[in-house]
Amino acid sequence: MAGKGSPFFAYLALLFLVAYFGSSVFFFLSTISSIPEVGNALAGLLVSIFLLLCGFVIYPSNMPTYWKWLVYVNPIHWANVSFCRFQFSEGYSDPSSNYLGQLPFFDQFPAKTVGKAYLAFYELSEDSKRPWLPYVILLGWIAFANILTLFGLKNIEFVERSQSLPYVRKSTTAYNYEEDAGSEFQSNYSFSENSEKYDASTYPSPRSSGTIYRKMKNNGQS
């Protein structure tokens, strides 16, 4: 980096955007998937397409003309272009003529430096001339994925408990204990009510006792 820290921070920013892009896309897939297995299958398929058409596995020159637009709208392609630009654009300044016969891009571009010969051989030199473009494309994809996620979240309906979510399962012992405790409380409550009724009928209150005594006294005088 020749004593400058700006490429390092630009690299960290790009790394954060790539990670955020991946999480946004996977979050969107989770909102449109009925079960986790469907989301995992869609995620694997989408990742395979992104990696296959990033320009690293299949060079753009080997693709048909009608498929090349998939490379240029692929955010992974632009992230790869930017990462390679950080690594090879200013570094590896030795001339390729010093390493003839060792690697193909040395023989093909002997007048270039090692880093620029690498970029030219893997068809990254033209795209690396616009260092701001990978950030714009990644931000656009992140915004697009988050908008789709919002629409997906609005259509989610929670109709029942998902089988994949953990939950506390009541054991038979705990369930029987709760039933026994409830029945015991009910029987104690019924017993206390019956005891109160029995005490009231057997031992009358002082007021009722006085009334009975007066009635007995009047009957004796008569």
**pLDDT per residue of the chain (222 residues) written in tens, 0 to 9:** 444 677 788 888 889 999 999 999 999 998 888 888 888 899 999 999 898 888 888 888 888 888 888 888 999 998 888 888 888 877 788 888 888 888 888 888 888 888 888 888 888 877 777 888 889 999 999 999 999 999 888 877 665 665 555 554 554 544 455 555 556 556 655 555 555 554 545 545 555 445 544 555 555 555
What are the DSSP calls for 148-175, one per residue?
HHHHHHHT----S--TTS--PPPPHHHH
Question: Three-state SS for 130?
Answer: coil
Count of alpha carbons within 13 Å of 213, Cβ hemisphere only?
7
pLDDT at 1: 47
Hey, what amino acid is at 100? L
Q: Which two tokens stand for residue 78?
A: 């632009």
d(CA 32, CA 40) in angstroms, rounded, equals: 12
DSSP designation for 96: G
Rounded (10°) CA dihedral 42, 44, 46, 51 = 180
Note the pLDDT of residue 163.
59
Model pLDDT, residue 62: 86
d(CA 78, CA 81): 5
pLDDT of residue 213: 47
Residue 42 Cα to chain centre, angstroms: 14
Q: Give the position of tokens 């260092």.
A: 131
Sort residue 92 into left (φ over 0), alpha (ψ -120 to 50) or beta.
left
Rg, the chain, Cα only: 41
Which residues are CB-contacts of 85 (< 8 A; sequence separation ≥ 6)?
Answer: 119, 124, 128, 131
Contact between 20 and 14 under an 8 Å Cβ cutoff? The reply is no
**pLDDT at 144 (0 to 100):** 95
User: How much is the pTM?
Assistant: 0.62
The residues with which 113 forms a beta bridge, in sequence order, are 95
Cβ-contact 115, 161 below 8 angstroms: no
